[in-house]
Structure 1
């Protein structure tokens, strides 16, 4: 797996580069990824608006900031995402703000469909669900832990909806977006910080 991580890092983007890729593709009437469709283009356009809004509104509480600043080792946060993914649009701005709080975190982003080998190591219940955050020890070049594709509250919402109605439809997606709106990025921040402080040297994969 180390080779797939190295390859992904070599082809990774900064947050600003990722944002520019999405914007440039949208200007051409395209979305990221191998598949192109009206639906994916529609979702990508919605997500562009979400990214712009969240970049302005997401804040990092002082307690989270202090913990991020207190990290002893240097890490790369490598996120597997795509521009059409609603969860990625909600979560990436949060991770970007968190990474900016610490000089020990370097945020990098890769596109799922361009990194199939890496994605295959981090499936969720057998699915290529994104976004997926990989925590990489910068010195060792190894993945120490991973998180995603959603915070627990959002995952529970979708799980319960699917159990009740059998599908994840537009109503489920609307409820999910409302959950993110009310949560204000706090669940992601608390879960990721808790994970960072639970990393042990021997746990590196």
Structure 2
């Protein structure tokens, strides 16, 4: 597993590099990923608009800024993503804002289709759902936790709808986008920082 992580990090992008890659591919009429379809290009174009908006409007809450300032360890956040993924377009800007607010978080992004071996280690109910965040100890590359593909309320929204209707179709996707819009990234911030706080407490308990 250590080799898988290290190879992924070697082939990773910063957030800025990822944004530039997705934008460049769109200008060429392409999406990220090994499959090229009209639908995936369309989703990538929609996501590009979302990313631009969220990069400008998302803010880290004061409470979470305090938590970020109190982080006493360095972390690498390795995220598996693709440019056509709607959830990734909502969540990557949040992760980036949190990482920008801390000298102790280094955000790296890899493409799912180019990192199948890594993706297969972090399946969700047997599927390659993204985005998937892998939290690493920056000094050792030890896996501390993983998170994704959605914050808990969004996960529940989709799961409940699928249980009732048997499918994930356009109406619930619209509801999901509404939820993200209303939440303004706060739930994701809280869940991600809770992971780090839990690890910090567990590490302190071991030391004590």
TM-score range normalised by the length of the shorter chain: over 0.9
Q: How far apart, CA to CA, are the structure 1 residues paired with 2:10 and 2:71?
A: 25
CA distance in structure 1 between the aligned counterparts of 2:161 and 2:42, rounded to whole angstroms: 23
Residue in 2 aligned with 1:100? 100
Question: 2-side partners of 1:49 and 1:19: how far apart?
Answer: 11
Q: 1:27-176, aligned counterparts within 5 Å?
A: 27-176=27-176
CA deviation after TM superposition for structure 1 residue 133, in Å: 0.6
Q: Which runs of 5+ in 1 are unaligned?
A: none
Partners of 2:144 and 2:31 in 1: CA distance:
31
1:158-191, CA deviations, whole angstroms, 9 ceiling, x for partnerless residues? 0111111110111111111011000000010000
1:201 and 1:138 map into 2 onto residues whose CA distance is 15
C-alpha distance in structure 2 between counterparts of 1:60 and 1:101, whole Å: 8
What is the SS of the residue equivalent to 1:80? strand
| Distance in structure 2 (CA, Å) of the matches to 1:151 and 1:40 | 23
Measure how far apart 1:140 and its partner are. Answer: 1.1
SS state of the match for residue 167, structure 1? Answer: coil
Partner of residue 8, structure 1: 8
* SS at 1:130 equivalent: coil
- Give the superposition deviation at 1:65: 0.8
Provide the residue aligned with 1:179 in structure 2: 179
Secondary structure, aligned partner of 1:26: helix
Please state whether the residue corresponding to 1:129 is helix, strand or coil. coil
- The secondary structure found in structure 2 opposite 1:149 is coil
Which runs of structure 1 show a deviation greater than 4 angstroms over 4 or more consecutive aligned residues?
none
Q: Secondary structure at the match of 1:135?
A: strand
Could you tell me how far 1:201 is from its partner in structure 2? 4.3
Equivalents in 2 of 1:8, 1:142: separation in Å?
Answer: 14
**3-state SS of paired residue (1:102):** coil
For 1:35-77, what per-residue CA distance to the aligned partner results, in whole angstroms no more than 9, with x for missing partners?
Answer: 1111111100000000000001100011101111111111101
Q: 1: CA distance between counterparts of 2:167 and 2:161?
A: 8
Can you list the C-alpha shifts for 1:3-51, whole angstroms capped at 9, x where unaligned?
A: 1100000000000000000000000000000011111111000000000
